[in-house]
Amino acid sequence: DTGVSQDPRHKITKRGQNVTFRCDPISEHNRLYWYRQTLGQGPEFLTYFQNEAQLEKSRLLSDRFSAERPKGSFSTLEIQRTEQGDSAMYLCASSLVVDGYTFGSGTRLTVV
């Protein structure tokens, strides 16, 4: 068990570019969550998958954001036409049941 893995750890992109982040959950975990954390704030829920089904999306997830978990294992989060306000830490977490789950180390996005 290597924990929840996120890639890349850091990403700097120019405004207007598209970016994609990857999350590899703990292997037997069927639930996968994405959160966003800005400086000085707690993480905020973005979306949730159970296996490959995306079951819930936050209002924070604008139409420029899309998340997938095609085979119920790893997940990707894509942001299209990035804006400076998208600069944040993007955290992925996974769990086996509805319980206190394990977070990855996050991807820090800076939009310049």
CA atoms within 13 A on the CB side of 67: 30
Question: Which letter, b or e, does each residue of 54-64 get, where b requires 16 or more Cβ atoms within 10 Å of its Cβ?
Answer: beeeeeebeee
Minimum distance between the CB of residue 106 and other proteins, rounded to whole angstroms? 5
- CA gap 109, 43 in Å, rounded: 14
Q: What's the closest the beta carbon of residue 86 comes to other proteins, in angstroms?
A: 15
Closest CA to 36 of 101, 94, 86, 111: 86
Residue placing its CB nearer to other proteins in the complex, 44 or 78? 44
Work out how close the CB of 55 gets to other proteins at its nearest, in angstroms, rounded to a whole number. 7
- Shortest distance, CB of residue 16 to other proteins, whole angstroms? 25
Binding site for other proteins (CB under 8 A): 4, 31, 33, 35, 40-45, 48, 50, 55-56, 58-60, 91, 93, 95, 98-106, 108
Nearer to other proteins, 18 or 38 (CB): 38
User: How far is it, in rounded angstroms, from Cα 24 to Cα 2?
Assistant: 10
